[in-house]
Amino acid sequence: MSDQQPSRRPPSAPRRGPPRLLIPLVFAGVLAAYGLLFLPAQMAAWRLAVARRQAAAEDWPAALASVDEVLAWDRRNVEALHVKIGVHMQQGDLDAALRAIDDGLAVADPASDAGLGFLTQRVEILQRAQRHAEAIKGAGQLVEICKASRRDELMRMINQRAYVVARAAAAKSASRKEVLEALADMAAVFQRLRLDSAAAAQQGGVPLDRWLEEAMYLDTFAYLRLFAGQREAALRDLSRAEAWCDLIESVAESAPTTNKPTDMAQFQRQMRQMRAPILRHRAEALASLGNFDD
């Protein structure tokens, strides 16, 4: 007989795989998580594209409905809010546009690009609604925000406030003090531009964008001077702004290929848009020389 004893260990249990129902449940969970993370953004992007096409076709009710769907998926969608504001503006519903801007400011930091954009639109709409005092206050708020945390946008916002004051003065809704303060601010802007242009010239040339800025700011400054009673000076500055535009176009057209604007057609449209207010303001200055009341 053999001395070996039978093993007392129980037979090992057969290995088990995951329960049959577990795999589809895990797969479904992964899909659900993916949907929660990515589906809202994808749906919002799709509906936003639809809203833009509808707005381009001037189907305002459909565009607004699509924008509302976008915001249901993503309430912080800044681009959708801009479409909504634009549609309300096209419809002439300025109050609705202002409400949409308030929605945007509720989700955007005022000092961010989005926040500055909403606040700038708000000022433009208030001015269009002839609510000049509110527009001037809003433009001043933008200047203060930029002084505190957006120095890169400060000159542009000072120029905007000056133009808002000038338009209010044209509607006899701005005080002489507001006009003179805006003029002083613009004089400081020109001093800064001269310093920046001198520095750029030492480094190899002043870019066309800077020249365009100077022409635009000179137009604003001249228009303000009109309402400060400086009519002849205003007319001289407006003529200078127009001549500056001629020079910019000449330089752009004769520049070497590497220095030309990348899209000349777009550049020419931009120049036409810049010339239009200069010519309009020049006509006002000429008219004021005969019948301006101090």
Q: What is the pLDDT of residue 138?
A: 97
Q: What is the pLDDT of residue 92?
A: 94
Residue 274 inside a domain? The answer is yes
Residue 282 inside a domain? The answer is yes
Residue 242 inside a domain? The answer is yes
Residue 139 inside a domain? The answer is no
What is the rounded CA–CA span in Å between residue 236 and residue 89?
A: 36
Residue 280 inside a domain? The answer is yes
CA dihedral sign, ordered 144, 145, 149, 152? negative
Q: What is the pLDDT of residue 147?
A: 92
What is the rounded CA–CA span in Å between residue 278 and residue 114?
A: 29
Helix (H) or strand (E) holding 7: none
In this structure, are residues 193 and 135 in contact, taking their beta carbons and an 8 Å threshold?
no
User: Closest Cα partner for 189 from 209, 208, 161?
Assistant: 161
Residue 174 inside a domain? The answer is no
Assign residue 278 the CATH number of its domain. 1.20.58
Query: What's the predicted TM-score (pTM) here?
Result: 0.76
Q: Which amino acid is at 158?
A: I
Would you write out the chain's pLDDT as a tens digit for each of its 294 residues? 445 555 455 555 455 555 555 555 554 454 444 444 455 778 888 889 999 999 999 999 999 999 999 999 888 899 999 999 999 999 999 999 999 999 999 999 999 999 999 999 999 999 999 999 999 999 999 999 999 989 889 999 999 999 999 999 999 999 999 999 999 999 988 887 776 665 555 555 656 777 888 889 999 999 999 999 999 999 999 999 998 888 888 888 776 555 566 677 888 888 888 899 999 999 988 887 764 444
Q: What is the pLDDT of residue 263?
A: 74
Q: Is 58 left (phi over 0), alpha (psi -120 to 50) or beta?
A: left
Q: What is the pLDDT of residue 249?
A: 85
Residue 44 inside a domain? The answer is no
Q: Is 185 helix (H, G, I), strand (E, B) or coil?
A: helix
Q: What is the pLDDT of residue 294?
A: 42
Cα–Cα distance list, 293 to 178, 230, 285 (Å): 18, 12, 12
Q: What is the pLDDT of residue 171?
A: 93
DSSP 3-state helix, strand, coil percentages of the chain (rounded to 5)? 80, 0, 20
What's the structural domain count of the chain?
1
**Phi, psi (deg, nearest 5) at residue 203:** -95, 5
Listed in sequence order, the residues at least 6 apart from 213 whose beta carbon sits closer than 8 Å to its beta carbon are 155, 193
**What torsion do the CA atoms of 155, 159, 164, 167 make, to the nearest 10 degrees?**
180
> Distance of alpha carbon 54 from its chain centroid, rounded?
22
Q: What is the pLDDT of residue 30?
A: 47
Task: For residue 76, give the DSSP letter.
Answer: T
Residue 54 inside a domain? The answer is no
Domain coverage including residue 216: 207-294
Write the DSSP string, 77-99.
-HHHHHHHHHHHHHHT-HHHHHH
In this structure, are residues 132 and 158 in contact, taking their beta carbons and an 8 Å threshold?
no
Q: CA-based Rg of the chain, rounded to a whole angstrom?
A: 31
In this structure, are residues 264 and 252 in contact, taking their beta carbons and an 8 Å threshold?
yes
